[in-house]
Structure 1
Amino acid sequence: MKEKILSYKDLEVWKNGVKLAKDIYGLTETFPYHELYALTSQLRRAAVSVSSNIAEGYVRNSTKEFVHFLYISLGSLAEIDTQLQLAKELNYTENTEELQNFIEMQMQQIRSFINALKRKI
C-alpha cells in the first residue's frame, strides 16, 4: 500500500533532492579554495535548487505549475551533472560515477512523475 502524500516532504523526488544536495556539499568540501565562489558555489546552488523547486512547485495552485517547477529541477540536475564532469576533468575529484548515476536515476524519477502529472491535466 502506498503512503499518502501530505506534504512535499513525503515525495521521493524531494527526499532524493535533499540527499543529493547533502552529497554535493560533502564532495565540494575538498575543492580548491579558489573555486569557492565559482564551481563550488555553482554546484551547491544547483543542488539546493533541485529539492527547493520541487517544494515550491508542490505548494502552487495547479498541477501545471507543479510540472513547470519539476522541469526546472530537471534542468538543475543536468547542470549538476555537467559541473561534476568538469570537476572530474579538472582533477578536483576522482570518482563521480556513483553520484552521476544517482543524478540519472533522479532525472528518470522526475520525468516519470511529470508524465504521471501530465495525464491528470
Structure 2
Amino acid sequence: MFQLTGYVMRFEDLRVWQRSADLACEIYLHFKQSKEFGLKDQITRSALSISSNIAEGYERITPKDYIRFLSYSKGSCGELRSQIYIALKIGEVDTTKATEWVEETRELSRMISALMKSIDAWE
C-alpha cells in the first residue's frame, strides 16, 4: 500500500473518499425506485466508481498506480455530471438536487486533482 504521509493511514481517512461515498449513497437512494433502468444503472455505476477508484488506487503499491486510479475517479466525476444533466432533462431529478450534485462533482474533481498533484510532488 502506498502512503503519502504518516497522517493519512487509510483511504477511509481521505475527505475526498468520504464525500464521494456519501454522494454515491445519495444518488443510489434517489434512483432506487426509478423505472429508467438504463440511466439508473449507469448513473449509480459512475457515482460508485468515484470512491471505488480512490480506494483501489490508495491500496496500490506505487504512486504512479495511485495517480492512474485517481485519474479514473476524476473521469467518473465528469461522467456522473453528464448523466445528472440528462436525468434533469428527462425529469428524473429536480433542478435543486441536480445543481447540488453537479457542484459536488466539480468539487470532488478539484479535490482529486489536488491529491494527484500532492502525490506527484512526492515522486
TM-score (norm 2): 0.89
> How far is the alpha carbon of 1:27 from its aligned partner?
2.1
> How far is the alpha carbon of 1:81 from its aligned partner?
0.2
78-87 or 18-27, which deviates more: 18-27
- Residue in 1 that maps onto 2:82: 82
How far does the alpha carbon of each residue in 1:72-94 deviate from its partner, in whole angstroms, 9 at most, with x for none?
00011100000000010111111
Q: 2:115 aligns with which of 104, 113, 121?
A: 113
| Cα distance in structure 2, aligned partners of 1:29 and 1:58 | 29
* Amino acid of the structure 2 residue aligned with 1:45: R
Residue 55 of structure 1 pairs with residue 42 of structure 2: no
Residue 29 of structure 1 pairs with residue 44 of structure 2: no
How far does the alpha carbon of each residue in 1:46-69 deviate from its partner, in whole angstroms, 9 at most, with x for none?
111111111110011101100000
- Residue in 1 that maps onto 2:101: 99
> How far is the alpha carbon of 1:30 from its aligned partner?
4.9
- 2:8 aligned counterpart, secondary structure: coil
| Cα distance in structure 2, aligned partners of 1:22 and 1:80 | 13
Segments of 5+ residues of structure 1 without an aligned counterpart are none
Alignment coverage as a number of residue pairs:
116
| Cα distance in structure 2, aligned partners of 1:4 and 1:119 | 17
- Residue in 1 that maps onto 2:67: 67
> How far is the alpha carbon of 1:29 from its aligned partner?
2.9
Segments of 5+ residues of structure 2 without an aligned counterpart are 1-5
TM-score (norm 1): 0.90
* Amino acid of the structure 2 residue aligned with 1:89: K
- 1:92 aligned counterpart, secondary structure: coil
| Cα distance in structure 2, aligned partners of 1:53 and 1:77 | 11
4+ residue segments displaced more than 4 Å: none
Contact 1:13 1:110 in 2 (8 A): yes
- Residue in 1 that maps onto 2:8: 5
